[in-house]
């Protein structure tokens, strides 16, 4: 089977997430094309696109290939719609020359006496509000191949978990649920694995892990407010999603250096976390301030990895964000990699071009550089 994945705003990160999910689930696959914001993947076995979409954070759309049945794309599409749609046909098409092909398809269907409405896609919400996934009539053309959409990103649900949860701290910065899911998936941790977030903040990684089917989760933080926010958000999650009953053990206010006092040694399969990334920035900080902050964060992260080594199992994984600061003179980096390596960890490349991937939106003063480390034997 061949499937189409429309990648998010950070295509490299989205592709990396998909590959690690397939690795975790031992899905035999081959990436057959990488065209702009799309990749096509061939699998030996059929995959459940809605189930896979519920796992992913960085994929906008998943479609399956629509085998060609005619000489032209519009004839293949019109034949498919005529056979699968009852009554008035409502369809959409995106990709190269989409509008031209869609209008030609509409003309063919009308010639055969069908009532047809073509919907121009502006965003995922357009597909959602026209029920085009349920109707199996949202299509994408990539490299002269047609795909019919099987699942789209649940944008309303993700927004609900981002903005409606009761425990929020905008001043300290909040990890988006999409990014939390991507980090969890990049760990490739099995669903029965024990995972730990030692800088839990408002509990985004822990709550997303519950929704993804993880059942053994530790959450800790040195901030009392963070612990309280995490507890509030877990209670809210269980009310909003009562079918998900994963177990989160929240340690009391805990310094990351003292993890082994609360968590059994060699018991954790994966640590997935966004650490404290320094004081909020406004873009006009002097270099002296950034240098001092970088020295503090370097010490904090070095101490954290020394502590991680005590609680991780052999070959344990750490998915960790190292911030970098955007200034008028360019990026300012935290030079802590040597200390992390000396603590016994090796970076595992996330892409063919780089060991790490930068997650950054325009006008943000802080960039999140995502790393994946493995504890050495």
**What is the pLDDT, as a whole number, of residue 168?**
81
Question: pLDDT for 57-86, tens place per residue?
Answer: 999 999 999 988 878 999 999 999 999 999
For 278, residues 6+ apart whose C-beta sits below 8 A from its C-beta are 293, 296, 297, 323, 325, 366
**What is the pLDDT, as a whole number, of residue 280?**
80
Q: Per-residue confidence at 169, pLDDT binned at 50, 70, 90?
A: confident
Average per-residue pLDDT for the chain:
93
Question: pLDDT for 217-256, tens place per residue?
Answer: 999 999 999 999 999 999 999 999 988 766 788 888 999 9
Q: Which one has a higher pLDDT value, 314 or 285?
A: 314
**What is the pLDDT, as a whole number, of residue 93?**
97
Task: Give the architecture-level CATH label for domain 2-153.
Answer: 2-Layer Sandwich (3.30)
Q: Which one has a higher pLDDT value, 204 or 293?
A: 204
Q: Do domains 2-153 and 157-375 have the same CATH topology?
A: no
Domain boundaries, the chain: 2-153, 157-375
157-375: in CATH 3.10.450.40:
no
**What is the pLDDT, as a whole number, of residue 343?**
95
Question: pLDDT for 196-217, tens place per residue?
Answer: 999 999 999 999 999 999 989 9
**What is the pLDDT, as a whole number, of residue 279?**
86
**What is the pLDDT, as a whole number, of residue 207?**
94
Is the model's pLDDT at 171 over the cut of 80? Answer: no
Averaged pLDDT, 40-68 = 95
pTM: 0.94
Averaged pLDDT, 107-112 = 96
Least confident of 105-109, 123-127, 282-286: 282-286
Is the model's pLDDT at 103 over the cut of 90? Answer: yes
């Amino acid at each position: 089977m061949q499937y189409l994945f429309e990648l998010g705003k950070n295509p490299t990160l989205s592709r990396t997430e998909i590959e690690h999910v397939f690795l975790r689930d031992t899905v035999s696959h081959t990436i057959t094309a990488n065209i702009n914001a799309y990749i096509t993947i061939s699998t030996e076995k059929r995959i459940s696109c809605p189930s896979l979409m519920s796992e992913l954070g960085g994929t906008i759309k998943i479609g399956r290939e629509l085998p060609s049945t005619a000489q032209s794309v519009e004839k293949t599409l019109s034949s498919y719609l005529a056979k699968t749609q009852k009554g008035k046909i409502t369809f959409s098409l995106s990709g190269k020359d989409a509008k031209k092909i869609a209008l030609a398809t509409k003309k063919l269907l009308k010639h055969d006496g069908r009532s047809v409405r073509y919907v121009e896609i502006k965003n995922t919400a357009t597909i959602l509000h026209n029920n085009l996934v349920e109707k199996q009539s949202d299509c994408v053309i990539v490299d002269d191949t047609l795909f019919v959409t099987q699942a789209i990103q649940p944008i309303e649900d993700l927004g609900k978990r981002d903005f409606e949860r009761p425990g929020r701290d905008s001043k300290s910065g909040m990890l988006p649920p999409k990014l939390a899911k991507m980090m969890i998936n990049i760990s490739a941790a099995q669903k029965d694995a024990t995972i730990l977030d030692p800088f839990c903040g408002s509990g985004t990684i822990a709550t997303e892990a519950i929704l993804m089917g993880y059942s053994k989760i530790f959450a800790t933080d040195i901030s009392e407010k963070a612990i309280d926010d995490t507890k509030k958000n877990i209670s809210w999650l269980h009310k909003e999603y009562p079918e998900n009953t994963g177990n989160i053990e929240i340690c009391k206010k805990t310094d990351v250096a003292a993890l082994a006092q609360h968590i059994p040694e060699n018991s954790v399969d994966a640590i997935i976390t966004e650490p404290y990334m320094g004081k909020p920035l406004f873009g006009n900080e002097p270099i002296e301030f950034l240098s001092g902050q970088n020295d503090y964060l370097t010490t904090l992260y070095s101490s954290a990895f020394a502590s991680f080594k005590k609680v991780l199992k052999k070959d344990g994984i750490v998915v960790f964000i190292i911030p970098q600061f955007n200034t008028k003179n360019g990026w300012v980096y935290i030079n802590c990699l040597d200390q992390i390596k000396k603590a016994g960890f090796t970076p595992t490349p996330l892409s063919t071009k780089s060991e790490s991937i930068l997650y950054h939106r325009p006008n943000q003063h802080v960039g999140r550089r995502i790393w994946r480390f493995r504890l050495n034997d």
